[in-house]
Structure 1
Amino acid sequence: MTAKIIKILSLVCMSLLYGCASTPSPDKMQAELAGYTLPKEAVADKGLLYIVRPSLAGGLVRFNVFLDDQESDSEMGYTRANEYIYFYVEPGQHTLSSKAENWAELVVNVKAGEIQYVKQNVEVGFLMARNSLVSLSELEGRYLVKDASLGTVIKEAK
């Protein structure tokens, strides 16, 4: 087989793995969150970030999460399939970076006492899974964290 055919077949297989999953309606998410409390809650003087990777696709590929730069001492933790991590941050603007086959970045502005949610989207890569980052609403963020497992938290605060 040529390299082009192999790549096309791998894209088709990955597409099948991703499926057609969609987020349920806000009413359904709200109903399923009744009585649910987050593993970590906000504190008065810091912001709290939850990074969630709700997809099962590319599950063996680790998505490392960094805060404010891409240096090893800035790694906050990593996720695999259907996992989340969390960490506290000083109020203000921060750059989140997520490493898979590619680097993805998202700038967030966090207030003291606030919780923000970020989703790591899994995408088809050339050699392994790629990723992108997107901010979530509180409802969708809580919903996705509820059904995920804790990933590897290296640092809770910076």
Structure 2
Amino acid sequence: MDPMLIRNTLFSAVLVAAAMATGCASINKAPSAMNTEAKQFNTHPDYAQVYVYRNETFGAALSMPVSVDGRQAGTTGPKSFFRFQLEPGQHTISSQNGASSLLLNTEANRNYFVWQEVKMGLVSGGSKLQVVSEQQGRAGVQQCTMIKSNL
């Protein structure tokens, strides 16, 4: 095979990989005042506060939808989070049309943190939702910028 063709093919592959790694998913940022208030982690006496965050840049070109009880809650991008309130009780949080889901039993006056980890597949990216401790969740949210939730 022609060495120049091999070199050009490798160069093109590197450019595509770099673009995918540094691309940016389109997200709807919340006003900075909302971002600041959310990062105070105040609780609500009647509801559970749920933070969904994605503190990675891996898979930056991918927007990842999140649903709660079958309703679209928002779409994350790299280094983003959103927050919403839920009635106490059991709720299903899912990502990418149910490809990853979890049951969350909530109580009023508490914060819950769900980490959306990016998982790369052969053809496209995916995600894995995980409930994490308040300490880990707060640290992850601090690394992110708030986006608007649909809930």
Question: Which residue among 120, 125, 135 is the counterpart of 1:124?
Answer: 120
Aligned residue for 2:138, secondary structure, equals helix
Q: Distance in 1 between matches of 2:76 and 2:112?
A: 17
Q: Is the 8 A contact 2:43 2:109 kept in 1?
A: yes
Q: Which amino acid aligns with 2:87?
A: E
Q: Distance in 1 between matches of 2:64 and 2:51?
A: 14
Q: Where do residues 38-77 of structure 1 align in structure 2 (5 Å cutoff)?
A: 38-39=39-40, 41-69=42-70, 74-77=71-74
Q: Is the 8 A contact 2:81 2:145 kept in 1?
A: yes
Query: What are the superposed Cα offsets for residues 23-73 of structure 1, whole Å, 9 maximum, x if unpaired?
Result: xxxxxxxxxxxxx9725522100001000101101112111110112xxxx
Give the direction of change, closer, same or farther, for the CA distance of 1:128–1:39 in structure 2 (3 Å limit).
farther
Q: Distance in 2 between matches of 1:65 and 1:37?
A: 19
- The residue number in structure 2 matching 1:94 is 91
Q: Which amino acid aligns with 1:76?
A: A
Q: Which moved more, 1:88-97 or 1:144-153?
A: 144-153
Question: Which residue among 72, 75, 98 is the counterpart of 1:78?
Answer: 75
Q: Which amino acid aligns with 2:91?
A: H
Q: Which has the larger radius of gyration?
A: 2
* Structure 1 residue 136 corresponds to structure 2 residue 136: no
Identity %: 25
Q: Is the 8 A contact 1:57 1:81 kept in 2?
A: yes
Structure 2-normalised TM-score? Answer: 0.71
Q: Where do residues 1-16 of structure 1 align in structure 2 (5 Å cutoff)?
A: none
Q: Distance in 2 between matches of 1:153 and 1:48?
A: 12
Q: Distance in 1 between matches of 2:40 and 2:75?
A: 17
Give the deviation of 1:154 after TM superposition: 1.6
Q: Is the 8 A contact 2:41 2:111 kept in 1?
A: no
Q: Say what the alpha-carbon RMSD is for the aligned residues.
A: 2.5
Q: Is the 8 A contact 1:79 1:152 kept in 2?
A: no
Aligned residues: 120
* Structure 1 residue 145 corresponds to structure 2 residue 141: yes
Query: What are the superposed Cα offsets for residues 122-147 of structure 1, whole Å, 9 maximum, x if unpaired?
Result: 11122221100111100000001011
Give the direction of change, closer, same or farther, for the CA distance of 1:153–1:106 in structure 2 (3 Å limit).
same
